[in-house]
């Protein structure tokens, strides 16, 4: 995972296991993400990706192991303290009532309530909405937006939280090509500015293009971890996904696609 012992990891999972009933859904998962790194977590449905996000978010109890944010075990941090270090984008962008888009983005400022950083709220919200290209939606009800528009407003909420760690659960799911690229470019820019991001991604080519490191889960275990060039090989993808694929480079970009045979 590109570990440098002289730095404190932004995110560190150590031998994390999670049980649901009598079934183990994560088994001894370890990973490390440093500031300035984008880590893509991949794997087929049921591999444990969303459970991993829950463990990082503090919403799922660990059966074993530990999760650290900037060197501190989250077990010793209150939910608000965690939210000041780590912002989470869930899969579903569901908002009750008729909140405007600005109000949704303002929700990201909640962890800073009654702190000195409260005075930055308006500026942080405006900057995040501009960054994500949703300022024109400020006064529109969130419920009236398209899927792609909602995704960018939800991302603006995460950015407005102003944390050093981003945990994003399938931020490009159900988005068209333009929005997928836009969202990943926005996340990449944040990482290049020093943030650490752990992103659940289904599109292997997208992960290979934007991620610094990749972690591939298979039945709750880490099947591979490291730079995309070494983890997203055709052989590894075929082993984990059970699909014959072609992996190569097209116009300077890594491409991984199923091998389709037609008569």
Rounded to whole angstroms, how far apart are CA atoms 153 and 158?
Answer: 9
- Supply 98's token pair: 């008729």
Give me the pLDDT at residue 131, please: 94
pLDDT at 100: 95
Query: What is the pLDDT at residue 4?
Result: 47
Which residues are CB-contacts of 260 (< 8 A; sequence separation ≥ 6)?
Answer: none
At 97 the pLDDT is 67
Domains of the chain: 11-85+163-258 (3.40.50.300), 97-159 (no CATH)
d(CA 85, CA 17): 23
Residue 42: beta bridge partners? 216
**Cβ pair 129, 113 in contact under 8 A:** no
**Could you give the CA distance from residue 161 to residue 107 in angstroms, rounded to a whole number?**
8
Tokens of 207: 């992960």
pLDDT of the residue at 27: 97
> What local confidence, expressed as pLDDT, does residue 92 receive?
74
> Can you give the pLDDT at residue 98?
81
Alpha carbons 256 and 208: distance in angstroms, whole number:
9
Give the model's pLDDT for residue 263: 60
For the residues of 131-178, what is the DSSP string, one character each?
Answer: HTT-GGGTTSBGGGS-HHHHHHHHHHHHHHT--SEEEEESTTTT--HH
* Low-confidence residues in the chain, pLDDT < 50: 1-6
pLDDT of residue 96: 63
Q: What is the pLDDT of residue 174?
A: 76
Specify the pLDDT at position 2.
44
List of residues 6+ apart from 77 with CB closer than 8 A: 69, 85
- Give which of 86, 87, 61 is closest to 75, Cα–Cα: 61
pLDDT of the residue at 16: 98
Say what the pLDDT of residue 170 is. Answer: 92
Residue of 30, 5, 11, 35 lying closest to 88 (CA atoms): 11
């Amino acid at each position: 995972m590109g570990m440098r012992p002289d730095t404190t990891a932004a995110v560190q999972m150590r031998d994390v296991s999670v049980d649901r009933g009598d079934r183990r859904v994560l088994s001894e998962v370890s990973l490390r993400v440093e500031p300035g790194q984008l880590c893509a977590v991949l794997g087929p449905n049921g591999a444990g990706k969303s459970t991993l996000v829950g463990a990082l978010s503090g919403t799922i109890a660990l059966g074993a192991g530990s999760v650290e944010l900037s060197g501190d075990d989250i077990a010793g941090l209150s939910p608000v303290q965690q939210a000041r270090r780590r912002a989470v984008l869930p899969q579903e962008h569901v908002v009750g009532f008729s909140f405007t888009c600005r109000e949704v983005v303002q929700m990201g400022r909640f962890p800073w309530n009654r702190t000195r950083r409260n005075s930055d709220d308006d500026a942080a919200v405006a900057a995040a909405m501009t960054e994500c290209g949703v300022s024109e939606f400020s006064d529109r009800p969130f419920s009236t937006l398209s899927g792609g528009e909602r995704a960018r407003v939800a991302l603006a909420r995460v950015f407005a939280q102003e944390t050093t760690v981003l945990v994003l659960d399938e931020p490009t799911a159900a988005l068209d090509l333009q929005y997928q690229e836009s969202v990943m470019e926005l996340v990449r820019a944040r990482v290049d500015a020093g943030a650490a991001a752990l992103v659940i991604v289904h599109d292997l080519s997208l992960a290979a293009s934007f991620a610094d490191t990749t972690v591939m889960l298979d039945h709750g275990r880490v099947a591979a971890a490291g730079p995309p060039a070494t983890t997203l090989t055709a052989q590894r993808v075929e082993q984990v996904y059970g699909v014959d694929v072609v992996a190569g480079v097209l116009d300077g970009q890594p491409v991984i696609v199923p091998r389709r045979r037609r008569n």
